[in-house]
Amino acid sequence: MKFSHTLWHIITPLLLIALTGCGAALNPYNENFRCQAPEDSGQCVDTKTAYEEATGLGQGAGGTQKKAGESAEAARLTRLAELLQEPQTPMIAPPRVLRVLILPYKGSGDLFMARYAYLQVEPANWVLTGVDEGLE
């Protein structure tokens, strides 16, 4: 009984020290985690606020940036729609490439391992131009 009582007096303080993380005595790092960003390199906000500002969901000063971003995106989409509707818009069809597996084989006393070879079956072609380039 006396042994368990002594053991209890030893284990209890050790357990308390372990659960408290030993405090500053065993932590070599600075515990000042406040944002120290200069004013010209961003702002110190929590994650939710940063997400709302980035996605344009936030209210207030971010509204003008949101409108500017929307107008730039709208201008890009309008220009893209114009390019697609133009009848003489040149476009290029990608080349047709065939991937061939060469199985392992022995030749001239050497062993050649499996590998792929890529062959261009059809070259890239301009389409929707209405101009026959005569390249054959």
Q: CA-CA distance, 17 to 45, in Å (whole number)?
A: 34
H helices, E strands: number in the chain: 3, 6
Residue 98: which domain range?
88-136
Mean pLDDT taken over the chain: 76
Q: CA-CA distance, 95 to 92, in Å (whole number)?
A: 9
Span 106-132, average pLDDT: 85
45 token code pair: 């906000």
Please determine, for residue 46, whether its predicted confidence score (pLDDT) is greater than 80. yes
Q: For 125, how many CA atoms within 13 A lie in the half-sphere containing its CB?
A: 13
112 token code pair: 């050649």
pLDDT in the model for residue 129: 54
The number of domains in the chain is 2
What would the pLDDT profile of 6-34 be if each residue is shown by its tens digit? 777 788 877 777 766 655 666 677 777 77
Burial class (CB in 10 A: 0-12, 13-18, 19+), 53: middle
112 and 136 within one domain: yes
Please determine, for residue 42, whether its predicted confidence score (pLDDT) is greater than 90. no
Please determine, for residue 113, whether its predicted confidence score (pLDDT) is greater than 80. yes
92 and 77 within one domain: no
113 and 71 within one domain: no
Is 98 part of a structural domain of the chain?
yes
What would the pLDDT profile of 58-96 be if each residue is shown by its tens digit? 655 545 555 666 777 888 888 878 877 776 667 788 999
